[in-house]
Amino acid sequence: MSEVKLEDIVSLCKRRGFIYQGSEVYGGLAGTWDYGPLGVGLKKNIMDLWWKTFVTDRDDMYGVDAAILMNQKVWQASGHATGFNDPLVECKNCKSRFRADHIKGDKCPTCGKEKTFSEPKQFNMMFATRIGPTANQLTVPKEIAEPGVYDEVISARADNTDPSRVYLRPETAQGIFTNYKNVVDSFYPDLPFGIAQQGKAFRNEISPRDFVFRSREFEQMEIEYFIHEKDWQKEFDRWVKDIESFLKELGLPQDKVHKLEVPDDDRAHYSKRTIDFEFDFPIGKEELLGLAYRTDFDLKNIQQASGKNMDYRPKDSSEPFVPHVIEPSFGVERAVMAVLTAAYTEDEINGEKRTYLKLPEHLAPVKVAVSPLLKNKPELVAKAQDVYKTLKKEFGNVMYDDNGNIGKRYRRQDEIGTPYCVVIDFDTLEGDTKDTVTVRHRDTTQQERLDIGELQNRLKS
Ligand code: GAP
């Protein structure tokens, strides 16, 4: 368990513009979260680092960006339509619903009554909707609808045979599998090769909770790595190492990351081996991401359901075969939460408590903040603006900050994890120190004096 408290992270995220409750102005919507300006910056840096590490820096990877709405046959073939269920129990007294495996004992957490739970029922977690101008989406009141239309509309079938039914994807993986053949036909890659995708996934979680950890709308970063069956153990082990080094790049301390070999009866229906990478979150040791050996389960199912051949034809003209798959599956929200947990630090400077985010520099949403010592001195402001514009051009994520006094600015920048604050003061304008600035370092709070000309290179290194 992390010593950082969840409420401290939630409160910092809200106060400083990282993450807000979804639809907050209307009282919220359970399981949804909105990223504010700094949250977007942090999330994007994590996602870009992932993409660079696993896609652009490698020559065995192909990126895709598939549609969220997919033909419902995808989810029938993948087993999600029938098997993507969580056990749900209902309290017969207060009607609250819970995930059966999250309930400890037989006391209802809402009303406190004992032994009021129903037998568990299987609850499918996919969000269903309809595509096209169908019945339940009709907003025209019955009285003014075209004769006949309303009747036709309300008789639309609610079961899985409804041809207009579509699901919001519960994993990005299927958008990869359904494009496997396209990528093979367009690029004819050597095996092993991977297809990667980042994007939204949706799950109607029975009890969304613990901030963004268990949300109903979240983002995934997934890879399907296509291999020859005989190589699966070797490739699986390689992925364990690649994931471990990526987690280091996220700044997660090694002793807070744990590997859990998922036992047979807990594995997803498609997996022959799964390792969950767990992290010491403020809520306890919980799953951060998963690595699964999905065998040829998905491609074989697609082959059967679509009638299309999913064979890979080796370039040496040996027998074609359906490849097997190793799947590293990362959740963006959990990565954000782990990075924030690892970075959240409290210390004391000159007897004063300080909170700061010790973010790795390459993930910080703001790399440098530039300030004039006083905002009512035009000569300081002009010089600060010059320095700001130069650094902004070079680094992009640079903030101009002239709010409050310099001490307050440092505190604020510390809290959002800005590694450097550059201050333009009177010494910048004249004397031996002309054209030098103060650079203050977040972690040590130490300051150094640097030539403006040196700044870019020093901050780069
Ligand atoms: N394609 C495989 C797959 O989706 P999963 O273990 O169900 O596997 C992968 O999900 C990752 O997605 C998890 O390790 C987690 O990081 C993230 N994830 C899953 N459900 C989530 C939820 N409700 N909220 C936030 N992240 C979630």
Question: Residue 205: CB within 6 Å of ligand 1?
Answer: yes
Give residue 299's pLDDT band: very low, low, confident or very high (50, 70, 90).
Answer: very high
Distance 332 CA to ligand 1 centre (A): 9
Judged against a pLDDT cut of 60, whether residue 245 lies above it is answered with yes
Give the pLDDT confidence of 412-422 residue by residue, as tens digits. 999 999 999 99
Question: Residue 218: CB within 6 Å of ligand 1?
Answer: yes
Distance CA 397, CA 400 (A): 10
For a substitution probing ligand 1, which of 167, 287, 332, 337 has the most ligand atoms within 8 Å of its CB? 287
For residue 116, the 8-state DSSP code is -
Judged against a pLDDT cut of 70, whether residue 1 lies above it is answered with no
Judged against a pLDDT cut of 50, whether residue 158 lies above it is answered with no
Cβ-contact 288, 338 below 8 angstroms: yes
Alpha carbon nearest to ligand 1 atom 27, residue: 331
Q: What 3-state class would DSSP assign to 388?
A: helix
Question: Residue 75: CB within 6 Å of ligand 1?
Answer: no
Positive or negative, the Cα torsion across 181, 184, 187, 191?
positive
Distance CA 356, CA 12 (A): 10
∠ CA 389-391-395, nearest 5°, is 120
Judged against a pLDDT cut of 60, whether residue 4 lies above it is answered with yes
Judged against a pLDDT cut of 50, whether residue 157 lies above it is answered with no
Distance 419 CA to ligand 1 centre (A): 31
Judged against a pLDDT cut of 60, whether residue 145 lies above it is answered with no
- Report DSSP letters for 24-93, one per residue: GGGT--TT-EEE-HHHHHHHHHHHHHHHIIIIIT-SSEEE----SEE-THHHHHHSHHHH-EEEEEEBTT
Give the pLDDT confidence of 182-241 residue by residue, as tens digits. 999 999 999 999 999 999 999 999 989 999 999 999 999 999 999 999 999 999 999 999
Contact residues for 360 (Cβ-Cβ < 8 A; gap 6+): 249, 250, 251
Judged against a pLDDT cut of 60, whether residue 136 lies above it is answered with no
For a substitution probing ligand 1, which of 333, 336, 337, 339 has the most ligand atoms within 8 Å of its CB? 333
Burial of 219 (0-12, 13-18, 19+ CB in 10 A): buried
Question: Residue 440: CB within 6 Å of ligand 1?
Answer: no
- Nearest C-alpha neighbor of 80 from the set 185, 169, 195, 175: 169
| Predicted structure pTM score | 0.92
Give the pLDDT confidence of 96-108 residue by residue, as tens digits. 888 888 888 889 9
Phi-psi region of 445 (alpha: psi -120 to 50; beta: other; left: phi over 0): left
Ligand 1 atom, smallest distance to 173 CA: 1
Distance of CA 441 to the CA centre of its chain: 29
Distance 268 CA to ligand 1 centre (A): 11
Judged against a pLDDT cut of 80, whether residue 78 lies above it is answered with yes
Ligand 1 atom, smallest distance to 292 CA: 2
Alpha carbon nearest to ligand 1 atom 4, residue: 171
Mean pLDDT within 250-278 = 95
Residue 150 has what pLDDT?
Answer: 39
Residue 135 has what pLDDT?
Answer: 52
